[in-house]
């Protein structure tokens, strides 16, 4: 019986073995068929050899500071030779400690994950992958991230192929440059910048370990929201590095004790100040190379921006707009909420304007007394606004008018008002805990500074705040420039037979009007007339009537031509009102035109980009490439001269004419409408501009090597208020900017070109004089056009050269009368006066 049983058992075992073999063969064949089926369309892994990942384009200022990045995927590609070994070791320790030993698959890891996944399936948890770094490369580059067995099989086959085709260093290079690590960062180099503001070689061990902790799930280890988990994971990576012998135990303990501190890149005043500028750069590069190249091409864009000037420009513009705003009263609270218990929570729910000045903060008015207002802050602390800090806050009325004087805090503030305040403890007469009322201006404007010799835009601010409005008032706002156009009227006159000493009658003037009015009758701002006046006096003091009379004598055709030749207008209608700046232009174009005057009459093309390089470092755009035969010599020798570059710029106006206008505009700063710049104590020129009804205010100021223009106005044209002219609103902004910007420029006179003769004359009547006499200055003439002194002239004190009205008896009478009047100081005669 036992023998029979044993035989049965052997027979059963045999058939069982045969069945197992058959089933095994069937399973193997089935598996092979399955593998062949799911891998018959595998992507070509060899394409990894041609890997060119999307790389972010980076924008640098002219002084080298990074000011912007453009990307769909923020990535900086770094070759493996330039990646520090500690970075490689950290990621291997965290993700695949046997990376340099396996052939693409970690069988022990796969078995371990399979066992764990049984429990994961039963408990509804996410499956473990046990992927090697090679498998992650296959998945990230060639496959999807879907959780399916089919994808896993394809991944494993590709991993084996990748291992045979590439070296380990090539595989880890692909991985470290492709992996997503959160915070908009793809690859370790971008992550180092975005989390810590450092390049890879600047990272410390604890920072490297944190980056290596992120591949498992960046959101799970967010440095702020999940700080404890992030530090724990980081310290685990450091521990693994020590276990694998990459760092010492002592270094590991020291790194684990470090706090986790990240930075907010591309933030702060320097970057905020450049927002309008970099948006212009983005648009220009987009138009040159297209969307894909801009966001994926890894362009290196070197711009013209001077970051210190940009900060000064933004500060000057903001201060000027806030000063104007305060002159025109208080518009009321941001909101009104209930006081009493819970006011901190209610205050935190109020929407507060972004991009506030440093030190500005929201507050709630808790109580007003006879001489103070008690206020509370988001942190629960309290302060007060003294009555003296509220005197400016009169009610804002229409047309720039103000309401009644403020006599008590309750005239301005009410209980529950949500307001903006700033500490005034550093001001004389105030103490800690006292604050001043603030408000974001409604008025806006722009400022633009340019190198007049190269056209490089050194600073550009297109408004009070880019966050509030992205409309760029320096480049996009088309408004009437008013009297700031007059220098080009006078340039046309100088090229058509007039001199700075030529006399023009400043007396009531009337001409036939256009379709909208029967008559055109301009007026001076002072509503006075001054008789015979030199061209210099007319430009220095911005006299409207004599400017229009000059335009009528000369004809509007040459003025229109000069407006177009200088690039201010495209098509200027030749009517008299245009001589006073009634056409529309932009600050960008106007500053460019002034730059042409300053540099001696040569056209400059404004630019915001110096150079663009592609991802390989090859220059694909350069703003200015000048021919130079001696610039590339390997060694300098005494017989070599300094490089001489040919002048390729178009001559817009004769250098003598350009200098004559610049010289007269120096007088506008010394004695005329531009005296706001006089405290700077160096050779400067400038011209104000104000349009009808005080709707727009302009100022363009310049030194020998820098031009700055300022525009101020409401986006929807509205009166600035009586007396708010260019010299009051815009010129102080230019002054505040130049005070900072010119610190690195030497104090130097304007360059005098050949063909200029400087002759002492009386600036009011054009007669020859002697330096030191009242009213006598050195005037710039073309040789042969200067006034000549005769015995009769010496007796009468009058001399005219090339002057079309010098023989007019009325002109002589008015000129003598003008000589006898006392100098009453500068007149800001800018108002167009259309009637």
**Looking at the annotation, which residues are catalytic?**
95, 483
Instruction: Tell me how many degrees the CA angle 354-359-365 measures, rounded to the nearest 5.
Output: 80
- Decide: residue 617, CB within 10 A, 0-12 exposed, 13-18 middle, 19+ buried: exposed
* 682-719 b/e (C-beta count within 10 Å ≥ 16 → b): bbbbbbbbbbbbbbbbbbbbbbbbbbbbbbbbeeeebb
Distance from C-alpha of 551 to C-alpha of 185, rounded to nearest angstrom: 62
Nearest to 734 by CA among 835, 590, 547: 590
Distance from C-alpha of 710 to C-alpha of 741, rounded to nearest angstrom: 14
* CB 52 within 8 Å of CB 276: no
Distance from C-alpha of 629 to C-alpha of 496, rounded to nearest angstrom: 41
Distance from C-alpha of 684 to C-alpha of 703, rounded to nearest angstrom: 5
* CB 263 within 8 Å of CB 196: yes
Number of Cβ atoms within 10 Å of the Cβ of 555? 12
DSSP secondary structure string, 190-224? HHHHHHHS--GGG--HHHHHHHHTSTT-GGGG-TT
Q: Locate 523 and state its tokens.
A: 């007026």
* CB 711 within 8 Å of CB 730: yes
Instruction: Tell me how many degrees the CA angle 611-617-620 measures, rounded to the nearest 5.
Output: 45
Question: What are residue 589's DSSP bridge partners?
Answer: none
Give the rounded distance of the alpha carbon of 77 from its chain centre: 27
* 138-160 b/e (C-beta count within 10 Å ≥ 16 → b): bbbbbbeeeeeeebbbbbbbbbb
* CB 349 within 8 Å of CB 418: no
E strands within 705-765? 706-713, 757-762
* CB 451 within 8 Å of CB 623: no
DSSP secondary structure string, 577-627? GGGGT-S-B-HHHHHHHHHHHHTTSB----BSEEEEE-TTS-EEEES----
Rg (C-alpha) for the chain, rounded Å, is 38
Beta strands 531-534 and 503-506 are antiparallel
* CB 57 within 8 Å of CB 295: yes
The secondary structure of residue 399, as a DSSP letter, is G
Q: Locate 493 and state its tokens.
A: 């006159």
Question: What are residue 689's DSSP bridge partners?
Answer: 698
Q: Which residue has the tokens 């693994």?
A: 240
Q: Rounding to the nearest 10 degrees, give the CA dihedral for residues 157, 163, 168, 174.
A: -50
């Amino acid at each position: 019986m036992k023998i029979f049983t044993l035989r049965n058992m052997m027979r059963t075992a045999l058939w069982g073995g045969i069945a197992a073999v058959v089933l095994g063969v069937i399973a193997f064949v089935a598996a092979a068929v399955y593998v062949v089926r799911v891998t018959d369309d595998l992507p070509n892994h060899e394409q990894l050899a041609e890997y060119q990942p999307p790389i972010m384009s980076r924008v640098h200022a002219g002084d080298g500071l990074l000011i912007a990045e453009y990307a769909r995927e923020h990535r900086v590609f770094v070759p493996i030779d330039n990646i520090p070994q500690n970075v490689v070791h950290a990621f291997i320790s965290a993700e695949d400690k046997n990376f340099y030993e396996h052939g693409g698959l970690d069988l022990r890891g796969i078995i371990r994950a399979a066992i764990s996944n049984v429990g994961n399936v039963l408990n509804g948890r996410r499956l473990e992958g046990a992927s090697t770094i090679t498998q992650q490369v296959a998945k990230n580059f060639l496959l999807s991230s879907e959780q399916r067995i089919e994808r896993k099989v394809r991944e494993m086959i590709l991993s084996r192929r990748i291992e045979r085709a590439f070296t380990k260093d090539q595989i880890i290079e692909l991985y470290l440059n492709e992996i997503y690590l959160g915070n908009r960062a793809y690859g370790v180099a971008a992550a180092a910048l975005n989390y810590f503001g450092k390049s890879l070689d600047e990272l410390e061990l604890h920072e490297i370990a944190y980056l290596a902790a992120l591949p498992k799930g960046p959101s799970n280890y967010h440095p702020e929201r999940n700080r404890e988990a992030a530090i724990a994971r980081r310290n685990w990576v450091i521990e693994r590095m020590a276990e694998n012998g990459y760092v010492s135990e002592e270094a590991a303990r020291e790194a684990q004790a470090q706090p986790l501190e990240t930075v907010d890149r591309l933030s702060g005043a320097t970057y905020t100040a450049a927002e309008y500028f970099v948006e212009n750069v983005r648009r220009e590069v987009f138009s040159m190379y297209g969307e894909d190249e801009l966001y994926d091409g890894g362009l290196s864009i070197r711009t013209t921006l001077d970051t210190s000037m940009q900060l000064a420009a933004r500060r000057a513009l903001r201060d000027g707009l806030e000063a104007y705003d305060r002159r025109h009263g208080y518009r009321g609270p941001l909101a009104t909420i209930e006081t009493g218990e819970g006011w901190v929570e209610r205050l935190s729910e109020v929407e507060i304007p972004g991009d506030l000045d440093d030190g500005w903060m929201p507050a709630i008015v808790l109580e007003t007394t006879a001489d103070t207002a008690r206020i509370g802050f988001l942190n629960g602390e309290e302060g007060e606004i003294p009555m003296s800090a509220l005197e400016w806050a009169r009610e804002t009325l229409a047309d720039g008018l103000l309401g009644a004087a403020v006599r008590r805090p309750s005239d301005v503030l009410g209980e529950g008002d949500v307001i903006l305040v700033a500490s005034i403890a550093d001001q004389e007469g105030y103490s800690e805990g006292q604050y001043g009322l603030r408000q974001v201006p409604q008025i806006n404007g722009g400022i633009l500074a340019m190198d007049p010799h190269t056209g490089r835009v050194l600073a550009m601010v297109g408004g009070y705040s880019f966050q509030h409005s992205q409309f760029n008032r320096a480049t996009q706002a088309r408004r009437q420039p008013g009297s700031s156009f007059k220098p080009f009227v006078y340039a046309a006159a100088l090229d058509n037979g007039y001199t700075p000493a030529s006399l023009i009658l400043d007396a009531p003037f009337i001409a036939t009007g256009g379709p909208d009015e029967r008559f055109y009758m301009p007026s001076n701002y002072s509503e006075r007339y001054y008789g015979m006046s030199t061209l210099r006096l007319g430009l220095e003091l911005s006299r409207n009537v004599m400017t229009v009379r000059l335009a009528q004598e000369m004809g509007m055709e040459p003025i229109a031509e000069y407006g177009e030749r200088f690039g201010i207008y495209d098509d200027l209608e030749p009517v008299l009102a245009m001589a006073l700046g009634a056409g529309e232009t932009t600050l960008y174009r106007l500053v460019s035109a002034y730059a042409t005057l300053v540099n001696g009459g040569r056209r400059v093309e404004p630019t915001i980009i110096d150079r663009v390089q592609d991802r390989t470092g090859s220059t694909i755009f350069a703003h200015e490439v000048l021919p130079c035969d001696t610039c590339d010599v390997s060694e300098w020798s005494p017989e070599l001269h300094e490089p001489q570059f040919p002048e390729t710029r178009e001559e817009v106006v004769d250098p003598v004419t350009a200098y004559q206008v610049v010289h007269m505009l120096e007088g506008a700063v010394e004695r005329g409408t531009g005296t706001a710049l006089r405290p700077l104590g160096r050779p400067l020129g400038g011209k104000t501009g104000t349009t009808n009804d005080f709707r727009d205010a302009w100022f363009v100021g310049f030194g020998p090597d820098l031009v700055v223009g300022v525009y101020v106005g409401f986006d929807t044209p509205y009166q600035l208020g009586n007396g708010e002219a260019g010299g009051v609103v815009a010129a102080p902004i230019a002054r505040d900017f130049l005070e900072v910007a010119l610190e690195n420029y030497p104090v130097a006179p304007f360059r005098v070109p050949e063909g200029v003769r400087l002759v002492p004359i009386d600036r009011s009547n054009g007669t020859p004089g002697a330096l030191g006499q009242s009213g006598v200055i050195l005037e710039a003439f073309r040789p042969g056009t200067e006034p000549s002194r005769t015995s009769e002239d010496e007796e009468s004190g009058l001399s005219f050269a090339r002057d079309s009205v010098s023989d007019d008896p009325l002109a002589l009478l008015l000129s003598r009368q003008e000589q006898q009047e006392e100098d009453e100081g500068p007149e800001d005669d800018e108002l167009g006066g259309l009637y």
